[in-house]
Structure 1
Amino acid sequence: MRNREFWDLVDEVLGSANGRVLARELVLDELDQRTVVQALEDDVEPRAVWHALCDALGVPDTARWGTDDRRPAPPRR
C-alpha cells in the first residue's frame, strides 16, 4: 500500500473531514503512542498504520477496503 492509497481509504472509509482529523489527533498504542500522521512521517508502513487505525476504531475487515471491488485488501503484516 502506498501513501496515496492510504489517504484514499481514509477519505472513503472514514470520511475526508473526520478521517483527516483522526489521523492528526488520535494517538494509537499500536503505533507506539504516535498519531497516524506521525507514524507515516516516521516511515511506518502505510498498511500497518491503516490496520492500526481500523483496529482502534473497530472498523470491520469487510468495511476496511471501501467500495471498489477491484481494490485488493493488503494483508495484515
Structure 2
Amino acid sequence: MEQTDFETHGDVQIVHSFNEMGLSEDLLRGIVGYGFEKPSAIQQRAIAPVLRGRDVIAQAQSGTGKTATFSIAA
C-alpha cells in the first residue's frame, strides 16, 4: 500500500466526522443522501477553517473530495 504524507499547519484541527463539523441538519442529510459516510483527509482538514472564514490553500490528489470540500463550506 502506498504511504500518503500530510503536511498540516499547526493550528488546523482534524475533524473525523461530518457530524462534528457543526453543519446544518439539511446539509448533513444531503451529504448522507449523496453517499458520503465520512470526510476524506482533505475534507477533515479544510472544511472547518473555511467555515470559520479562514483563507485556505489545500492541495490533494484528484478524486479526493476537494470540490465537495468547498461546496459544503460555501
Query: What TM-score does the superposition give when structure 1 sets the normalisation length?
Result: 0.35
Q: Which has the larger radius of gyration?
A: 2
Query: What TM-score does the superposition give when structure 2 sets the normalisation length?
Result: 0.36
